[in-house]
Amino acid sequence: MRFRVLLLGMVLSLPLHAADSLDWDDLVPAGYDPGKIYSRLFDEIYTDKEPEDIADGDSRGVQMLDAIDKAWREAPLKASLDNTRVRLAGYGVPLEGDENYVREFLLVPYFGACIHTPPPPRNQIVLVKMKGQGVPLDLAVDAMWLEGTLTVSSEDTEYGTAGYVLKGESAELFTGYEE
């Protein structure tokens, strides 16, 4: 009898739907290659130059950055991930909170991703909206694991366009990938 009570307690403490651990590549539809898009845009804009032959201040630089920014804002998303429980590691870029907690932030695959121009493609930016008081500020600017429900929803922010929104339920310091 005691074993049954213990077993029932263990079963009831399990989450209803376990979160799938994702890698950043899992957010990108098959066949999408930003390198090929960049090369095509470069060839269209700099028809007569190789990258190493472009002088600083070349007038086509702004045109190239605008074209890349537009392409990244329109990057395809993976519809099959809509409304899935996920676990994803990344770096935080705070958007909204107070001096102690961050409630809304971007999760990106590498440090500093959204402070550079252009930001990553939208399929590499996740807008996180944490439940409750949020994530402690010192954690929100570090590498962390996030867990919650992912939706496919494109949202513009001051640092770039996020292709996904994560309703964050928990966050913890990233200590490495599980094996």
Q: Dump pLDDT digits (tens) for 137-165.
A: 989 888 999 999 999 999 999 999 999 99
Asked whether 78 and 27 are in contact (CB, 8 A), the reply is yes
Same domain assignment for residues 89 and 143: yes
89 and 122 housed in the same domain? yes
Residue 86 and residue 142 in one domain: yes
The identity of residue 90, as a single letter, is G
Sign of CA dihedral 12, 16, 105, 92: positive
Binned at pLDDT 50, 70 and 90, residue 54 comes out as confident
- Same-domain pairing of 90 and 162: yes
Q: 40 and 52 share a domain?
A: yes
Quote the number of domains for the chain. Answer: 2
Is the pTM of the predicted complex or chain greater than 0.75? yes
Q: Contact, 167 vs 141, CB < 8 A?
A: no
Bridge partner list, 10: none
For residues 87 and 126, the answer to whether their CB atoms sit within 8 Å is no
